Structure 1
Amino acid sequence: MQTYTYVSQGKFELTEKPKPVLMHERDAIVKVTLASICSSDLHIKHGSVPRAVPGITVGHEMVGIVEEVGSAVSTVKPGDRVTVNVETFCGECFFCKKGYVNNCTDKNGGWALGCRIDGGQAEYVRVPFADRGLNKIPDSVTDRQALFVGDVLATGFWATRISEITGDDTVLIIGAGPTGICTLLCVMLKNPKRIIICEKDEIRIKFINENYPDVLTVLPSECLNFVQANSEHGGADVVLEVAGADSTFRLAWECARPNAIVTVVALYDKTQALPLPDMYGKNLTFKIGGVDGCDCEETLKLIAQGKINTEPLITHTYPLSKIDEAYDLFENKKDGVIKVAVDCQK
């Protein structure tokens, strides 16, 4: 079968591999119908994910059809359309029972697919702990509508959930990339008083203005003054940092009012400094980390109810045979790209 493989730092290639087989009673084999490219794939490509294993098939954002299940899998069956969670998790360890599935202590726990074991930019993928990591797609929801449930939408939903947003809040989201937009969609469900998005890319700003006209947009160079002018207490009540640029960590806490919550879900290429003398007295609460993707069933229901719609984020679709072109488009932000869908059966 065709797979997109991490060959070495800076090099991905479309290669042939054997179709995966069940290796454990909790495994499932999924025929991948649609996959997507994530910025985390680019982090692997450029060597900023040290745990990524050369030779693995990349891709951790996908939907498909269950083809085969292990003897211990009872939640899905062959023929089911499913989303695939970015994380694999046993459901039985201390962290899983607390809902911290990103920290599952199993050897395949956490972010394994497309990082430490073969992922889903391929015709087929083996999913460990399929009884936990696969969610059936409602009949009324298309593959394209469900494509981001297991990763960027899961991240946005989790970030929103832990940010304790209320109806009186001014919420600042830094970054209007795919994860930032998914975060916006989830923040909108909380109906805060005001939402501001900080973004430097003109195409992304245009996308926000056209699709979500009630959301305020601002450039990074103007963000601090703009937030202070459009909030009641000297800054945002909640800041969600989703950009991961060199300057955005500092911008996040600078734009927060005293005693605010700053939620950081961005993955940085470089070490970030926490200048405690500069921020002393702001009494901020930081929430930092990777997604605990355990709300996929809930987000699928919200999609089915018409309360979340991520399909507009898919601006381009490529067959798997032309995935090199898709990566070039996505990495270099060509042609107004937001997200790319990859048809893995073509």
Structure 2
Amino acid sequence: MRAMVFHGPGQKSWDEVPDPIITQPTDAIVRVEAVTICGTDLHILGGDVPEFAPGRILGHEAVGSRLDAAAKLGADVIVDSGRDNPADVIARLTGGLGADVTIEAVGIAETFETAVDLVRPGGHVANIGVHGKPATLHLEKIWIRDRTITTGLVDTYSTPRLIDLVASGRLDPAAMITHRFTMDEFPSAYDTFARVGETGALKVVITAA
């Protein structure tokens, strides 16, 4: 079979690789009909995830302009950080208290520090972004504010609930798809997703045909 293979920071190729085999009683081989490119893949290619060794296969999201997408997905308030100050917007919406929960999802020091600043006393900061560089935690400002900060990637705990939401029609993931490619266009798909500022890519889907 063919797969997108990581060969080191900044190096990837569409290679012929051995077919998977069953090695443990708990293993399963799944026929992949489509796959999306995760932001984590771009961090891997950037050398931000040293645990990911050369030779590993990229593309782990197997399935059988962002502000517009947020509106389509039901966001009540949309903030363009290039035009508006998020702190001012959240202060206005919460009477100066701050957000109950903030999520850092891009892996940039500035956005992590902003997420911590925007949450209320007793609130929760969820960091799911992949950080390749240090970020500062300003304990001199937040030590007395009783905030909880959690980190980690997807642990599948919420997957059954998400499947139920999609199956019931309450959540439509199709609104997140901005670009589609076939498997033989995998390199182009990565290039498009990596240049999100130019392409507006939100979620890129690659299918067998």
**In the alignment, residue 252 of structure 1 is paired with which amino acid?**
A
Equivalent in the alignment of 2:110: 247
Picking from 222, 226, 231, the partner of 2:94 is 231
Does 1:27 find its partner at 2:13?
Answer: no
Aligned equivalents of 2:15, 2:91: Cα separation in 1: 52
Where do 1:123-138 residues align within 5 Å? none
Shift, 1:38, TM fit: 0.6
What's the TM-score once normalised by structure 1's chain length? 0.56
Which residue is 1:105 aligned to? none
The answer (yes or no) to whether the contact 1:2–1:14 under 8 Å persists in 2 is yes
Flag as ranges the 4+ runs of structure 1 deviating above 4 A.
none
Q: What TM-score, normalized to structure 2? A: 0.90
Worse overlay, 208-217 or 318-327: 208-217
Structure 2 SS opposite 1:30: coil
Distance, in Å, in 2 between the alignment partners of 1:249 and 1:328 is: 26
Distance 1:243 1:261 in 2: 17
Task: Kindly tell me the number of residue pairs found equivalent between the two proteins.
Answer: 207
Residue in structure 2 matched with residue 313 of structure 1 by the alignment: 176
Q: Quote the residue 2:78 is aligned against.
A: 216
> Contact 1:218–1:226 at 8 Å: present in 2 too?
no
Gaps of 5+ in 2: none
Q: Give the percent of matched residue pairs that are identical in Structure 1 and Structure 2.
A: 29
CA apart distance, 1:325: 0.5
Would you say the 8 A contact 1:10–1:46 is kept in 2?
A: yes
Equivalence for 1:338: 202
Gaps of 5+ in 1: 65-202
Please tell me the residue identity of whatever aligns with 2:5.
T
* Residue 296 to residue 21, structure 1, CA distance change in 2 (3 Å): same
Equivalent positions of 1:99-114 (< 5 A) are none
CA contact (8 A) 1:258 1:284 kept: yes
Q: Does the alignment pair 1:273 with 2:130?
A: no
Q: Matched residue of 1:312: which SS?
A: helix
- Tell me which residue corresponds to 1:264: 127
Root-mean-square deviation (Å) = 1.8
Measure the CA separation in 1 of the matches of 2:134 and 2:95.
32
Shift of 1:233: 4.6
CA displacement, residues 231-273 of structure 1 (integer Å, 9 cap, x when unaligned): 1352112222223223111111211222222222221121112
CA distance in 1, matches of 2:159, 2:21: 25
Q: Distance in 2 between matches of 1:246 and 1:233?
A: 24
